[in-house]
Amino acid sequence: MTVPKLALTDSDPTTAATDTVVIGTVQGADGLALADGAAAVDAAFDGKLVELLETLGATGKAEEVVKLPTAGKLTAALVVAVGLGAPNADGVVSAEQVRRATGAGARALNGTGRVLSTLGAVDLAAAVEGHVLGGYTFTAYKSDQDKKPAATKIEFTTGAGAKDKAAKAKLKAATAIAEAVWTARDFVNTPPNDLYPASFAERAQKLGEAAGLTVEVLDEKALRKGGYGGILGVGGGSSRKPRLVRLSYKGAKARKKVALVGKGITFDTGGISIKPAGEMHHMTSDMAGAAAVVATVVLAAKLKYPLEVVATVPMAENMPGGESYRPGDVLTILGGKTVEVQNTDAEGRLILADAMVRACQDGPDYLIDTATLTGAQVVALGKRTAGVMGTEDFRDRVAAIGRATGEGGWAMPLPEELRADLSSNIADLANITGHRWGGMLSAGIFLREFVAEGVEWAHVDVAGPAYNTGGPWGYTTKGGTGQPVRTLAAVLADIAENG
Ligand code: BES
Ligand code: MN
Ligand code: ZN
């Protein structure tokens, strides 16, 4: 899918050659009010825009979308008023309010062609992200008559003018970030019969090479030669054999080295410890972590972060079959640690272990892994808030940045006593605890075993947030959400700036 054409404009929204003009509304102290950027449109309606919108029932509440025909008062045929909700006590509307409002507007506008948004005057970067993310559709597998594509072109008026350097830089960064989220969503939404380890690796390789990255793909033979027992064990049951993809970006004047690792289970049946049928189809999303890190390293190259970023991405399909690994097997992870498999459905941590050991061999300053790792994450934090574990300072930093992006994120502990519950009679550790308590945390404790000394580490469990099984809201569409791409991008930007 291709992102709409995006541009800044100084055009008067009332005379611009466009199909739809988007304005913002807020819930003010005295009822509905117009947001910044809407004045010219109001003047075209003789200053009666608030009255007209109120007649249509508008209140300015969050994610409200009200359409108003212009009847020739503007060149565009339609004005769409999107509700930002109530400003804070200082009269300020947050970036997330802008993203959600523009996202809701974009969803209502799909199929309408050219759009001019005045929300750039409120918060340009947030408006770009909201419009582009909300307008995302995945129609590759729909027959033609169902397709309602995103707007073809979106222009933004800004407070500063179209020539403003800072505005241009914001547009460029927000566009690249939104594109990266689309990329991740496309990967997640592509069904597992078309996206399996070899095809996923090939797509990642193409994307990476097009962005100037160095790409290395380890196939089954190379994995065996290299000693990747976790990936080979998990991937053994499928006729579609596993891969490990490494995508490297080295910016000029790279100040820090960041390793990214993402879980790439292209479908998770549970294996021999098979899952119930009910919601198994959701496990098409079990490669969302991989999708996010692939999209993020490509983004790092596009935005030329002064960093070295290497994504190490294990890909496997977890299937039952004659060649499957089984409960009771012992796998040897890269580097020599052994794991007794007690449940083949706790597979993500096994492929991540290999990948994290490999990633640490490069001597990174920071390691971020992300995965749709545990149902326990969803139980603990719900569908929208990622659980963030790891070394304390970096964990807290990643969680706070996640919240600032609007993706969410909450620091969770790694309680020491859970390590003993992962003990095995015959191997160095087991892949499950044998009880249901703190399942997200024990997965984190398991992964900690494979992080090298001295590396600042964050583990981001996105089992809930990566895949929207409900209806769309704000700029979050159905299916793959692209989480945690924006968090990862913001963490990289923060490391580039502050070390
Ligand atoms: N991919 C699942 C986790 C998951 C569950 C992601 C729901 C998204 C939504 C993972 O591989 C898994 O099966 N985890 C098990 C671990 C258990 C066997 C210790 C789980 O959470 O039940
Ligand atoms: Mn599983
Ligand atoms: Zn899984």
CA of 211 relative to ligand 3 center, distance in Å: 29
Q: Which of 349, 358, 397, 486 is catalytic?
A: 349
What average pLDDT does the segment 348-355 reach? 99
Q: Residues at the annotated binding site for Mn(2+)? A: 263, 268, 286, 345, 347
Please name the residue whose Cα sits nearest to atom 18 of ligand 1. 346
Does 194 have pLDDT greater than 90?
A: yes
Rounded distance between C-alpha atoms, residue 349 and residue 165, angstroms = 45
Confidence of residue 159 (pLDDT cuts 50, 70, 90): confident
What average pLDDT does the segment 333-359 reach? 99
What average pLDDT does the segment 131-159 reach? 90
Assigned CATH for 182-498: 3.40.630.10
pLDDT at 145: 66
Neighbours of 120 (CB within 10 A): 31
Please name the residue whose Cα sits nearest to atom 8 of ligand 1. 463
The kind and range of the H/E element at 207 are: helix 197-210
Nearest to 78 by CA among 29, 136, 149, 19: 19
The length of the chain is 499
C-beta separation of 330 from 349 below 8 A? no
CA atoms within 13 A on the CB side of 124: 25
Rounded distance between C-alpha atoms, residue 234 and residue 209, angstroms = 28
- Express each pLDDT in 93-113 by its tens digit: 999 999 999 999 999 998 889
Rounded distance between C-alpha atoms, residue 335 and residue 357, angstroms = 7
Please name the residue whose Cα sits nearest to atom 5 of ligand 1. 375
CA of 269 relative to ligand 2 center, distance in Å: 7
Does ligand 1 have an atom closer than 6 angstroms to the CB of 286?
Answer: yes
Q: Which of 275, 326, 419, 478 is catalytic?
A: 275
pLDDT at 348: 99
Structure tokens belonging to residue 138 = 């995945």
Q: From the alpha carbon of 343, which atom of ligand 1 is closest? A: 18
Confidence of residue 143 (pLDDT cuts 50, 70, 90): confident
What average pLDDT does the segment 350-372 reach? 99
Rounded distance between C-alpha atoms, residue 128 and residue 121, angstroms = 11
Q: Percent of the chain scored above 70 by pLDDT?
A: 100
- Express each pLDDT in 296-321 by its tens digit: 999 999 999 999 999 999 999 999 99
Neighbours of 443 (CB within 10 A): 30
Rounded distance between C-alpha atoms, residue 46 and residue 97, angstroms = 28
Please name the residue whose Cα sits nearest to atom 13 of ligand 1. 345
Q: Ligand 1: which of 317, 344, 345, 441 to mutate, judged by most atoms within 8 Å of the beta carbon?
A: 345
Does ligand 1 have an atom closer than 6 angstroms to the CB of 23?
Answer: no
Q: List the chain domain ranges.
A: 5-163, 182-498
Rounded distance between C-alpha atoms, residue 470 and residue 126, angstroms = 24
Q: What's the CA angle centered on 304, arms 248 and 371, to 5 degrees? A: 50
Residue 349: active-site member: yes
Q: What is the mean pLDDT of the chain?
A: 97
446: three-class secondary structure by DSSP? helix
- Express each pLDDT in 213-262 by its tens digit: 999 999 999 999 999 999 999 999 999 999 999 999 999 999 899 999 99
Residue 114: active-site member: no
C-beta separation of 243 from 197 below 8 A? yes
479: three-class secondary structure by DSSP? strand
Rounded distance between C-alpha atoms, residue 86 and residue 234, angstroms = 50
Fold of the domain spanning 5-163: Leucine Aminopeptidase, subunit E; domain 1 (3.40.220)
What average pLDDT does the segment 442-451 reach? 99
pLDDT at 44: 98
Does 449 have pLDDT greater than 70?
A: yes
Does ligand 1 have an atom closer than 6 angstroms to the CB of 432?
Answer: yes
With 0.85 as the threshold, say if the pTM is over it.
Answer: yes
- Express each pLDDT in 278-299 by its tens digit: 999 999 999 999 999 999 999 9
Cα–Cα distances in Å, from 77 out to 48, 60, 108, 115, 445?
18, 22, 15, 11, 57
Confidence of residue 202 (pLDDT cuts 50, 70, 90): very high
